[in-house]
């Protein structure tokens, strides 16, 4: 784990990035009180004015080892998402043997800070344990293994998870279902089964399907809309759609996000921005940072303008711990922690650099 440096972002920089656009967006969205009240001291307090939870993904190693990170994770946000510790490889590294310790610590942290927890994620094609990916199980055994995993994990956290990302990244960008172990062995019905099993295990949790590149109206978001329409018609217990919101300044911001999100809202589904970050080609400069602020603003406005959008979660608030540099060579600063120019936050707090 990288050592924390001075560059660790405090909530001030996150607030400074998000507070201006949050204040404006909330004030103009019709969801907040009409006047622009900049007295809110945290992102969470601002979001509350619009009936929105503002959350962050949490790196639990940083939470344990970095006091500044821990303080800001506790104070700025009203929901948290485990970045990795509820994924299959983290909780069931050996078949049938669970280690909930890291995930339980985060749930306890959230409870101590009055935060809700977005569970992430019961079923994905990535971060699967080796015993599963190398076993080449037959369809019946794989289905039984999947049902047991979803049931065991949802039962373990029963009553402590607000929203579950039940199925993560089921689609390809062209709108076809992703070629995964799940689709190949179990067929497209694995998606409905996952939701039924999760609901059986924790009837009170809100159950979401989550994906990236579905911010605007495109083949992928339309295919997802068609799927969730069918699932609702089949009375599959699905409550919402998670729109990850991983943007990059070299691509246009999804200005049609509100129109897209309305399509899901019109079905009576909840929505959430679940993993917002906006990466910049490095070294970042004021142009990149302005484009980044626009990206966050577009995502936040899309949520604020959508009746049942309940949560706006950033995928981390410190570039020191961001997934971006190790994934996109030459890009970074996705959480704006290196921003040293631009307006000081209305709360008068200083920047960190
Ligand atoms: O736990 C091991 C550790 O034992 C080992 O020493 C270390 C070095 O190899 O790797 C550690 O695992 C890493 C894991 O994060 C936990 O830190 C993996 O290598 C690394 O690939 C993994 O990256 C995560 C990535 O998902 C995996 O695809 C990122 O932190 C996480 O931010 C990212 O999050 C995903 C969402 O879950 C779904 N949406 C996309 C988003 C970005 O990819």
Q: What confidence score (pLDDT) does residue 32 get?
A: 53
Note the pLDDT of residue 343.
36
Positions marked catalytic: 169, 275
pLDDT at 107 over 90: yes
Task: Give strand pairing partners of 120.
Answer: 165
Ligand 1, atom 10, residue with closest C-alpha: 1
Residue ranges of domains in the chain, CATH in brackets: 1-48 (no CATH), 52-332 (3.20.20.80)
Instruction: Spell 283-292 as b/e; 16+ CB within 10 A means b.
Output: ebeeebbebb
Give CA–CA dist 203/82, Å, rounded: 21
Q: pLDDT confidence of 127, banded at 50, 70, 90?
A: very high
* Maximum CA extent, the chain: 60
Q: What is the pLDDT of residue 41?
A: 83
Could you say which DSSP state residue 275 is in? E
Q: Is the pLDDT of residue 334 over 60?
A: yes
Structure tokens at 155: 């039962």
* Candidate from 2-16, 86-100, 173-187 with smallest mean pLDDT: 2-16
Instruction: State the closest ligand 1 atom to the C-alpha of 275, by its place in the atom list counted from 1.
Output: 39
Percent share of the chain, pLDDT over 90 = 83
Average pLDDT, the chain: 88
| DSSP string for 110-168 | HHHTT-EEEEEEEE-SSS--HHHHTT---HHHHHHHHHHHHHHHHHHTTTT-SEEEEEE
Q: Residue whose CA is closest, atom 8 of ligand 1?
A: 1
Greater model confidence, 287 or 346: 287
pLDDT of residue 36 exceeding 70, the answer is: no
Residue 210 pLDDT: 99
pLDDT greater than 70 at residue 341: no
Report how far ligand 1's centroid is from the alpha carbon of 232 (Å). Answer: 32
Residue of minimum CA distance from atom 14 in ligand 1: 84
| Torsions phi, psi for 284 (to 5 deg) | -75, 155
Q: If you measure from the C-alpha of residue 342 to the centroid of ligand 1, how many angstroms do you get, rounded to a whole number? A: 32
Query: 234 alpha carbon to ligand 1 midpoint, in Å?
Result: 35
Q: Which two tokens stand for residue 193?
A: 């089964």
Is pTM beyond 0.85? Reply is: yes
Q: What is the pLDDT averaged over residues 131-159?
A: 97
**What is the structure's pLDDT at 5?**
34
Question: Which atom of ligand 1 is nearest to 87's Cα?
Answer: 37
Closest CA to ligand 1's atom 15? 84
Tell me the CA–centroid distance for residue 314 and ligand 1, in Å: 16
How much is the pLDDT for 31? 72
Q: Measuring CA to CA, how many Å separate 112 from each of 78, 79, 116, 155? A: 11, 12, 10, 21
Please provide residue 237's backbone torsions phi and psi, each rounded to the nearest 5 degrees: -75, 75
Q: How far is the CA of 320 from the centre of ligand 1 (A)?
A: 14
- Euclidean distance between CA atoms 269 and 227, whole angstroms: 13
Q: What is the pLDDT at residue 77?
A: 97
Among the listed ranges 10-24, 40-54, 278-292, 314-328, which one has the minimum average pLDDT value? 10-24
Using CB distances shorter than 6 Å, the residues near ligand 1 are 83-84, 126-127, 168, 244, 275, 323
Nearest CA residue ID for atom 23, ligand 1: 323
């Amino acid at each position: 784990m990288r050592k924390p440096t001075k560059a660790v972002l405090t909530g001030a920089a996150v607030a400074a990035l998000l507070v201006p656009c949050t204040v404006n967006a909330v004030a103009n969205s019709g969801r907040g009180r009409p006047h622009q009240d900049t007295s809110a001291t945290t992102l969470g307090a601002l979001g509350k004015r619009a009936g929105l939870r503002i959350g962050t993904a949490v790196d639990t190693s940083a939470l344990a080892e970095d006091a500044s990170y821990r303080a800001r994770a506790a104070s700025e946000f009203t929901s948290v998402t485990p970045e990795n510790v509820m994924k299959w490889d983290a909780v069931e590294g050996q078949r049938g043997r669970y280690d909930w310790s890291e995930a339980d610590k985060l749930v306890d942290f959230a409870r101590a800070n009055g935060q809700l927890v977005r569970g992430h994620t019961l079923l994905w094609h990535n971060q699967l344990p080796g015993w599963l990916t190398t076993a080449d199980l037959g369809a019946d055994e794989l289905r039984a293994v999947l049902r047991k995993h979803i049931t065991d994990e949802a039962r373990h956290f029963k009553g402590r998870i607000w929203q579950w990302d039940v199925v993560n990244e089921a689609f390809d960008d062209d709108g076809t279902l992703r070629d995964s172990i799940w689709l190949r062995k179990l067929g497209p019905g694995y998606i409905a089964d996952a939701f039924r099993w999760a609901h059986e295990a924790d009837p009170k949790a809100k159950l979401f399907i989550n994906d990236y590149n579905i911010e605007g109206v495109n083949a992928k978001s339309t295919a997802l809309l068609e799927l969730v329409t069918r699932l609702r018609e089949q009375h599959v217990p699905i409550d919402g759609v998670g729109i990850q919101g991983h943007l990059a300044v070299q691509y246009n911001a999804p200005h049609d996000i509100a129109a897209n999100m309305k399509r899901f809202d019109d079905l009576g589904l909840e929505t959430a921005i679940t993993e917002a970050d906006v990466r910049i080609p490095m070294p970042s400069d004021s142009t990149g940072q302005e484009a980044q602020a626009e990206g966050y603003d577009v995502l936040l406005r899309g949520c604020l303008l959508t009746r049942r959008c309940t949560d706006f979660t950033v995928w981390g608030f410190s570039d020191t711990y961001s997934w971006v540099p190790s994934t996109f060579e030459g890009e970074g600063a996705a959480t704006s922690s290196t921003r040293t120019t631009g307006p000081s936050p209305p709360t008068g707090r200083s920047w960190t650099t």
